[in-house]
């Protein structure tokens, strides 16, 4: 078992990483946290694959388990879905001693965190991410969110879980497209923070894609370590944590305009990272060689890197960028690369973002 510690004072928590650990969650969490009741928020597909394994461990530890299903993907991240869950929690007599657990991908983790942070002003939260993207990003760091019709993740809180359990074995049931989508967040971590890790990924990306156990475990662990390092230094995005948004400004705009069902989050992030590299290059921060390395690695990971043609939708993209969470005074904190392994933030208008990178 590898443990990465999120260092946040009295809100610190472990992120446990080991193949097969899903079956151990119940007994370990019951022993360490004194859990006697848990509500698991999952999706029908994930629940069918993995809920029974989780529930058996809980039952061995004499923990009462209730399962609540929500839709797959971004469709779940709405205030309407959250309200329905509140009704179910109320009907079930869920109090402040009941743990809420997210079992699913990034959307399920985001929604579960939001519900846990707002129900009764906060109930204890556990996260068990079942997609690569959720394992290295959504479940770690305490950001929670639901979407607004005009923008992604505009409604949310900062709320840390008590524990996160990462089981690489669950990725074997993940559709290949979803796995590739998660690789974008792994590559992002190296590009913005750790040039040596990025170079390792360049050497080992085929092994990671093939889910060879040693390579996959190292990729997941280092990506989580990087996020934990950043969040431990800046929990609430006062400065440094904003660097984790590398590639995300354009990615969220693509998701909003093109639609969540047409493009996965990681696919949009891959496009957004190459776009940000070109903007960095045009600003004189990096050379064409860095842009080429980022684009090549993303391509080898099976990800498209060319953004949609927005010539006929320019106004829609400008509106989507303008409602980004990082907007202040009409400018967006846009993350660029100063060099491979070091990111920085520029304050740019939406017009400057689209014009400078093209």
pLDDT digits (tens, 9 = 90+) for 54-95: 999 999 999 999 999 999 988 999 999 999 999 999 999 999
161-209 pLDDT, tens digit each: 999 999 999 999 999 999 999 999 999 999 999 999 999 999 999 999 9
Among 152, 188, 222, 241, the active-site one is 241
Region 140-145: mean pLDDT is 95
Sheet (strand 2-6) strand order: 2-6, 13-17, 163-166, 125-129, 99-104, 37-42, 64-69
State the DSSP H helix or E strand holding residue 278, giving kind and residue range, or none if neither: helix 265-282
Q: What is the mean pLDDT of residues 8-31?
A: 95
CA distances from 25 to 21, 103, 273 (A): 7, 12, 35
Q: For this structure, is 248 an active site residue?
A: yes
Q: Are 141 and 222 members of one domain? A: no
Q: Is 256 a catalytic residue?
A: no
Reported as a single tens digit per residue, the pLDDT across 246-267 is 999 999 999 988 877 789 999 9
Q: What is the pLDDT of residue 357?
A: 67
Q: Last residue of some domain: 144, 173, 202?
A: 173
Cα Rg for the chain, rounded, in angstroms? 20
* Residue the block writes with tokens 């431990």: 232
Check whether residue 131 and residue 59 sit in a common domain.
yes
Say whether 37 is catalytic: no
Residues 245, 113 share a domain: no
248, 264, 325, 326: which one is catalytic? 248
Residues above pLDDT 70, as percent of the chain: 99
Active site includes 227?
yes
Q: Which of 155, 173, 191 is the last residue of a domain?
A: 173
Out of 147, 153, 245, 256, the active site residue is: 245
Q: Residue 125 is part of a domain; what is its CATH number? A: 3.40.50.1970
Question: Catalytic one among 24, 178, 225, 237?
Answer: 237
| 245 is a catalytic site residue | yes
**Three-state DSSP class for 18?**
coil
Residue among 217, 198, 216 at smallest CA distance from 273: 198
Same domain, residue pair 84 and 155? yes
pLDDT level of residue 307 (50, 70, 90 thresholds) = confident
Question: Is the per-residue pLDDT at 311 higher than 80?
Answer: no
**8: domain range?**
2-173
Does residue 75 share a domain with residue 34? yes
Residue 226: is its pLDDT beyond 80?
yes
Known catalytic residue at 326? no
DSSP assignment string, 26-53 = HHHHHHHH---EEEEEE-HHHIIIIIHH
Assigned token pair, 267: 């696919």
Catalytic, out of 162, 265, 325, 326:
265
In the chain, pLDDT over 90 holds for what percent of residues? 85
Mean pLDDT (the chain) is 94
Reported as a single tens digit per residue, the pLDDT across 92-107 is: 999 999 999 999 999 9
Among this protein's residues, is 218 annotated catalytic? Answer: no
Q: What is the CATH number of the domain that holds 339?
A: 1.20.1090.10
Catalytic residue among 143, 162, 218, 278: 143
Catalytic residue check, 331? no
Question: How many independent structural domains does the chain possess?
Answer: 2
* Pair 225, 168 in one domain: no
Last residue of a domain, one of 173, 190, 210: 173
Interval 33-61: pLDDT, tens: 999 999 999 999 999 999 999 999 999 99
Q: What is the pLDDT of residue 70?
A: 97
Is 56 in the active site?
no
Claim to verify: residue 162 and residue 199 sit in the same structural domain: no
- What's the whole-number mean pLDDT along residues 313-333? 84
- 101, 185: one domain: no
Does residue 217 sit in the same domain as residue 342? yes
pLDDT of residue 236 exceeding 90: no
Same domain, 99 and 143: yes
Comparing 191-195, 273-277, 352-356, the range with the smallest average pLDDT is 352-356
148 part of the active site: no
349 and 210, same domain (yes or no): yes
**Domain identity same for 237 and 332:** yes
Q: Would you state the pLDDT for residue 356?
A: 75
């Amino acid at each position: 078992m590898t443990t990465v510690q999120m260092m946040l004072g009295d809100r610190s928590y472990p992120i446990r990483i080991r193949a097969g650990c899903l079956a151990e969650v119940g007994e370990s969490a019951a022993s360490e946290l004194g859990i006697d009741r848990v509500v698991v928020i999952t999706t029908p597909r994930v629940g069918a694959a993995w809920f029974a394994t989780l529930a058996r461990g809980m039952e061995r530890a004499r923990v009462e388990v209730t399962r609540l299903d929500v839709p797959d993907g971004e469709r779940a991240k709405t205030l309407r879905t959250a309200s329905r869950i509140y009704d179910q929690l109320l009907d079930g007599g869920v109090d402040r001693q009941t743990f809420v657990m997210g079992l699913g991908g990034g959307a399920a983790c985001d929604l579960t965190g939001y519900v846990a942070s707002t129900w009764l002003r906060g109930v204890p939260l556990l996260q068990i991410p079942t997609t690569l993207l959720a394992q290295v990003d959504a479940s770690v760091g305490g950001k929670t969110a639901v979407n607004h019709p005009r923008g992604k993740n505009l409604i949310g809180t900062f709320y840390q879980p008590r524990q996160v359990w990462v089981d690489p074995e669950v990725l074997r049931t993940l559709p290949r497209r979803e796995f590739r989508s998660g690789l974008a967040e792994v590559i992002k971590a190296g590009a913005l923070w750790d040039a040596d890790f990025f170079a390792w990924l360049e050497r080992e990306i085929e092994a990671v894609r093939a889910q060879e156990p040693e390579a996959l475990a190292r990729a997941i662990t280092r990506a989580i370590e990087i996020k934990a390092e950043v969040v431990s230094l800046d929990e609430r995005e006062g400065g440094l944590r904003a660097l984790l948004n590398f590639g995300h400004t354009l990615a969220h705009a693509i998701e909003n305009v093109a639609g969540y069902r047409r493009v996965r989050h990681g696919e949009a992030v891959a496009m957004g990272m190459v776009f940000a590299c070109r903007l960095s290059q045009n600003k004189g921060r990096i050379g064409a060689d860095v842009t080429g390395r980022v684009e090549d690695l993303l391509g080898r990971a099976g990800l498209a890197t060319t953004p949609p043609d927005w010539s006929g939708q320019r106004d829609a993209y400008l509106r989507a960028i303008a409602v980004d969470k990082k907007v202040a005074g009409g400018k967006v904190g846009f993350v660029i690369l100063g060099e491979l392994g070091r990111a920085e933030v520029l304050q740019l208008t939406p017009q400057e973002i689209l014009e400078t990178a093209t």
